[in-house]
Amino acid sequence: MIAEPVRIGRVESLVAERGPTALRIAVGGQLRKLREQANITREKAGEAIRGSHAKISRLELGRTGFKERDIRDLLTLYGVTKVEERETLLDLVRKANQPGWWHRYSDLLPPWFETYLGLEHATKSIRTFEGQLVPGLLQTEEYARAVVTLGHENKEAARRVELRQKRQEILERNGGPTLWAVIDESVLHRPIGGPGVLRDQLLYLARAAALQNVTIQILPYSAGGNAAAGSSFTMLRFAEPELPDIVYLEQLTSALYLDREQDLEMYRQVMDRLSVQAETPDRSRRMLEEEAEKLR
């Protein structure tokens, strides 16, 4: 029997609200429970699908897509023989394999960033430190256009800006994630797109800071050095207990995804220290408004 049977109505809602990555996480959690109930090791399960224990781990964490043949073999190994139970889970597998909304932009996206978009769409909370630019989830259309044209041809700019704007919809989604951003004060003085674009961006940040699910803090020059040593990073946390926090570090041509507990703990401590060093949310909002006023 499937532990804690998945209700199709609930899952359909999950797909609509949080996308296929969240559904993969949920399905992976069901597979893990079935394997543990059957007292089967990851090594043995891996052999059953012509893979390794690492592949089973990725499947159970929702880190990779599912092959129906593999899932059928695993269900047989785990003793799930009733047709209705098997088809319920296999139907969820098919839905989990459907591409996310960002698939239409796949020609613009490297694989490592597609992975991030899926995780971002499925997350429960986002904590980020940005030392160079306004975080992507908080950029205005004009600021985003100025950013993307720094490194790409103009013919791609419109769709890249559209993608960035589409990402921001998660903050307006019912039950969407919380966003806690610490932004270095230098970002407030870097005129990306020109003074007018920056002014509108700062006022937008001030308005966004009033949203219930958004917290913005400014790390002032007066704080001196900081624990992040100038590097930007993002921490993602998920509702599913099976999936650990993830630290995302973006580079020019690749990205790192950290999930080892010692790495996570270090970044949690750094983020906590940055939050203490930064101005309070109320003072940060006033700073944004004051800097915008200077750009009149």
pLDDT tens-digit profile of 36-49?
Answer: 999 999 999 999 99
For 53-104, how does the pLDDT look when each residue is reduced to its tens digit (9 = 90+)? Answer: 999 998 888 878 889 999 999 999 999 999 988 988 888 888 888 888 888 8
Residues 106-135+168-294: name the CATH superfamily.
Answer: Endonuclease Chain A (3.30.870.10)
The pLDDT confidence band at residue 14, using thresholds 50, 70 and 90, is very low
Q: What is the pLDDT of residue 4?
A: 45
Which residue has tokens 């990725």? 58
Output the pLDDT for position 272: 95
SS3 270: helix
Rounded-to-integer distance, Cα 85 and Cα 178, Å: 35
CA 26/CA 23 separation, integer angstroms: 5
The full set of domain ranges for the chain reads 8-96, 106-135+168-294
Q: What is the pTM of this model?
A: 0.78
CATH architecture, range 8-96: Orthogonal Bundle (1.10)
Looking at the predicted structure, is the pLDDT value of residue 200 above 90?
A: yes
Confidence (pLDDT) at 11: 43
pLDDT tens profile 103-127: 888 888 887 888 888 888 888 999 9
**Inter-CA distances, 291 with 89, 189, 193, 207, Å:** 54, 8, 16, 14
On the question of a common fold for 8-96 and 106-135+168-294, the answer reads: no
